[in-house]
Structure 1
Amino acid sequence: MNVTNDGFKDRQLHNEDYLQRVSAEQKEYAEVSAHQRIAENNDIITDFQTDKLLEQILQSENLNKAYKKVKSNKGAGGVDGMSVDELLTYLKDNREQIIQKLKEGKYKPNPVRRVEIPNETKGEFRKLGVPTVVDRVFQQAIEQVLTPIYEEQF
C-alpha cells in the first residue's frame, strides 16, 4: 500500500478503491486513524433546539405553513377520500381534537392508499403510498421543524 509523501498516513492511496484489512483479528483497516470516526462528530449541539419539539410542531404558524404547502402541492386524497379542497373545513372543525390526540400520543395516522404508477420501463408499475391529506399536513409540520435542526448534520 502506498502512503502519500506529505507524512499524513490518513491520506493514503486506495488499492482498487477500498482499504485493505490488516488482519482478521484486529478488524481494522490499514493506516486509518481510529481516533476520529463519523459518529463522533460532536460539532453540532442540538439539545437547545430539540427542547419542546412537539410544541414547536403544533404552533399555529407552523401548522398554517404546513397546510399551505399541502394545499399548493395538491395531490390525490388518501383512503378517507378527502380532497385537498375539503381539508380547511375539516381542520377548522377538528383542529383541537387532533392536536389533543397528538399531545397525548394517541393520534394514529390513517392507512396509506396504494396506487400503481407506470415505471420508466414499459409495462412495469411501481407502488406509491398516498397518505390522507390530514396526515400530510402533520407530516409537513414535522418536516418543517426537524429539517433545519438535523439537515446540517447529514
Structure 2
Amino acid sequence: MKRQPKMKSKMRQLNLFVDERSLFEKLCDQSSLEAGFKAVKKNGGSPGIDGVTIQDFESRLEEELVQLLGEIGSWTYKPNPVRRVEIPKPGKGAGVRLLGIPCVRDRVVQATIKLLLEPILDLIFSDHSYGFRPGYSQRQAVEAAQRIVKSGKEYVVDIDLSKFFDRVNHDRLIYLLSEHIDDKQILRLIGITLRSGIMKDGLVTPSEEGTPQGSPLSPLLSNVVLDELDKELEQRGLEFCRFADDCNIFVRTPKSAERVMKSISKFIEGKLKLKIN
C-alpha cells in the first residue's frame, strides 16, 4: 500500500492588531491626510480665498501635509474663512443657494475627519435617510416613496426646511456628535472649523451658526442633525423618506397630514432650532 505523504499543518496567522489610537491621533497621521487629499482631488472644486488650486496643492503635497500635521498637532492650525459663492437655484425667481468654499488645505483636513467619522456615525443613521450616505441614492429614495404611496398612504407632508445649512445650531451639533464620538480633540477641531468665518467681497463675517454647503464635512454633519428628526418620526410610527434636508412623510388622510405637519413643525422649531418655510 502506497504511503500517503504527511500533510504539514500550517497555522493561519491572524492579524490581531487593533488600532487603539484615538481619532485625533489617526488624524495626525500623514497617511490619513493623504487619503483626505485623494477624496478632495476626486471631488474637484474651485479654490478658496487663498487662490490655491488642487493642482497647486498637489505639486507640493509632501510639504503641505507636513505643515498641516505640525499645525494640527500643536493646535496652531487655524482654518481660513470660507469663500462665499451664490449659485442660482433652478426655476425662475427661486433665489440663490449660498455656498461656502474652503481653501484646499482646509478641505483636506475636513475630508480626513469625514473619513474617520463616517464609519462610526453612518451606523446610527435611519434606513429612511438616503442623502450623502455610502450605498444610498436619490433613486432609492424615489423607489421607497413609490412603495409607500402604493400601500395606500397617498398624502404627503413635505417638510421644507428654510436655509437649513445656514441655520444649524453649533452647540446642538457638537452635543449630538458627542453622544457618539468621545474624542474631545476631534470635537474641538470640528468646532474651530465651524467658526472659521465667511468672506464675501473682501470682508469677513463670523460664522455663528450653520455648516456651509461646499465643505466636505457638511453633508455628514447635516445627517447628524437631522437624524434626530428621523428618530422622532420612527418613534411616532410614521413612514417617511428623507434626502438631506428634503423630508416627505406619508399618511392616509388630509386630516392626518394637517395633524402631522403641525406637530412635526413644533418639534423641528422647538427642539432642533430650525425654521420651516
Return the TM-score normalized by structure 1.
0.62
Count of aligned pairs between the two proteins: 107
1:141 paired with 2:112, answer yes
3-state SS in 2 of match to 1:114: strand
Query: What is the RMSD computed on CA atoms of the aligned residues?
Result: 2.0
Alignment of 1:13-52 (within 5 A): 51-52=21-22
3-state SS in 2 of match to 1:56: helix
3-state SS in 1 of match to 2:86: strand
The CA deviation at 1:65 is 1.5
In the alignment, which residue of structure 2 is the partner of 1:28? Answer: none
Stretch deviating more after TM superposition (139-148 or 49-58): 49-58
In the alignment, which residue of structure 2 is the partner of 1:71? Answer: 41
1:62 paired with 2:14, answer no
The one-letter code of the counterpart of 1:95 is L
Which of 49, 53, 56 pairs up with 1:86? Answer: 56
3-state SS in 1 of match to 2:85: strand
Structure (1/2) with the larger helix percentage: 2
8 Å CA contact 2:49–2:102 kept in 1: the answer is yes
1:11-58: CA deviation from partner (whole Å, max 9, x where unpaired) = xxxxxxxxxxxxxxxxxxxxxxxxxxxxxxxxxxxxx98852111123
1:132 paired with 2:103, answer yes
8 Å CA contact 1:58–1:141 kept in 2: the answer is no
In the alignment, which residue of structure 2 is the partner of 1:117? Answer: 87
Q: Give distance in 1, aligned partners of 2:63 and 2:42.
A: 21
Return the TM-score normalized by structure 2.
0.36
Q: Give distance in 2, aligned partners of 1:150 and 1:103.
A: 24
Identity %: 38
8 Å CA contact 2:85–2:98 kept in 1: the answer is yes
Q: Give distance in 2, aligned partners of 1:79 and 1:134.
A: 11
Change (3 A) 1:86 1:132: same
Q: Give distance in 1, aligned partners of 2:33 and 2:81.
A: 22
3-state SS in 2 of match to 1:113: strand
Q: Give distance in 1, aligned partners of 2:71 and 2:117.
A: 20
The CA deviation at 1:129 is 0.6
Structure (1/2) with the larger strand percentage: 2
